[in-house]
Amino acid sequence: MNDYEHDIDLQRFTVGIDLALEAKEMVESGGKGPIPGVLSEVIEDDGITITRLDIVDEQGSQLMGKMIGHYVTFEVPELRKQDTGLQDRVATKLAQEFETFLERIGIGKTANVLIVGLGNWNVTPDALGPIVVENTLVTRHFFELMPDQVAPGYRNVSAIAPGVLGITGIESSDVVQGIVERAKPDVIIAIDALASKALERVNTTIQIADTGIHPGSGIGNKRKGLTKELLGVPVIAIGVPTVVYASTIVNNTIDLMRNHVKDQNGNTDHIFGLINQMEENDRLQLVREALGPLGHDLLVTPKEIDQFIEDIANIVASGLNAALHDAVDKTNVSAYTH
């Protein structure tokens, strides 16, 4: 049973593997000038790069290979350095950016929110969602039980960590669907740990998108994702890459090696032979075949993952608390989480 279970979990990790940012970089690197149907804006702020990217029509969507929607990405390369000052700044920026994001996609100040923390408590790199849920300022029960006593500046927020299929035997989407029918939120914010396409993104990048969470093709296409189509309300996904495939590391590094050597020689064919001329996907396929038989195309994570997850979960929870509740001080957002 375990292997199958494992496969299921891997699938969850492939969902959302592509950051919109990476898609844009790929498209641009092959192209000339701006991408039609795609608007983007980059803000640099002392170690934090924020990219706002809107895919506005079908053409943009096809060129990017991503859904029409709004995407915001935080890139903070130094985030693994455990600098609490930087963490506070990222949380504060995230709060501001998320508040703007809600406005842009038409979610009002009083819209009820359900936060969904996907993932597994017991697997540290997959515990991001549940830890965010634990640190979220929920208020729905006060609105339900004593509505006239809720202080101004708070909106109706609830939160759930639906668990993973291997632990519950129930699709997360089924759990969430049941709750949505009862809690009747106006919008869902789903937090998830992602597999990254690049080692340097692990625990340094946060993506916000209003496109929901889409399943991989899955076994018999039975897995459902968390989408507006399924749930009836908009679904904002907040994703953080926390793991990376061993094969991805290898493939990325071969590229880095080629750039490294090319910088000095101009040409690399004699060094890399046919490898040099392979399409990236063919080469990745070769890497996987090499790792595969030994069963070690593992999903790996930095050894300091315990601390990294705690730090980034606090940033996300702090940012959400400040963005969702006007009553939470936006200049010192981390005071409201543990």
203-222 residues in contact with its own copies (CB under 8 A) are 219-220, 222
Size of site (CB under 8 A) for its own copies? 99
| CB-CB contact of 215 with 14 (8 Å) | no
Q: Which of residues 10-49 bind its own copies (CB under 8 A)?
A: none
Radius of gyration, alpha carbons of the chain: 21
Tokens of 119: 């993932």
Phi and psi (nearest 5°) for 10?
-60, -40
Task: Reduce the DSSP state of residue 330 to 3 states and report it.
Answer: coil
Nearer to its own copies (CB atom), residue 208 or residue 244: 244
CA–CA separation, 12 and 16 (whole Å): 9
- The residue among 73, 54, 74 whose CA lies nearest residue 64 is 54
Shortest distance (Å) from residue 29 CB to its own copies = 17
Nearer to its own copies (CB atom), residue 29 or residue 149: 149
Shortest distance (Å) from residue 114 CB to its own copies = 8
CA–CA separation, 310 and 28 (whole Å): 35
| Residue 285 in the binding site for its own copies (CB under 8 A) | no
Q: Contact letters (x/-) for its own copies, 252-281, by CB under 8 A?
A: -xx-xx-xxx-------xxxxxxxx-----
Q: Which of residues 116-135 bind its own copies (CB under 8 A)?
A: 121-126, 133-134
Q: Which stretch binds its own copies (CB under 8 A): 54-62, 63-71, 97-105, 167-175?
A: 167-175
Specify the DSSP element, H or E, that contains 232: none
Nearer to its own copies (CB atom), residue 38 or residue 299: 299
∠ CA 192-195-200, rounded to 5°: 110
| CB-CB contact of 219 with 230 (8 Å) | no
Residue in 59, 62, 100, 168 binding its own copies, rule: CB under 8 A = 168
| Residue 338 in the binding site for its own copies (CB under 8 A) | yes
- Token pair 């790996």: residue: 300
Give every CB contact of residue 228 below 8 A, 6+ residues apart in sequence: 212, 234, 235
CA–CA separation, 91 and 317 (whole Å): 8
Q: Which stretch binds its own copies (CB under 8 A): 61-69, 95-103, 143-151, 224-232?
A: 143-151
Q: Which of residues 58-97 bind its own copies (CB under 8 A)?
A: 77, 81-85
Enter the DSSP assignment of 297: -
Residue in 27, 111, 230, 246 binding its own copies, rule: CB under 8 A = 246
Residue in 166, 228, 232, 329 binding its own copies, rule: CB under 8 A = 166
Q: Which stretch binds its own copies (CB under 8 A): 90-98, 224-232, 243-251, 318-326?
A: 243-251
Q: Which of residues 94-113 bind its own copies (CB under 8 A)?
A: none
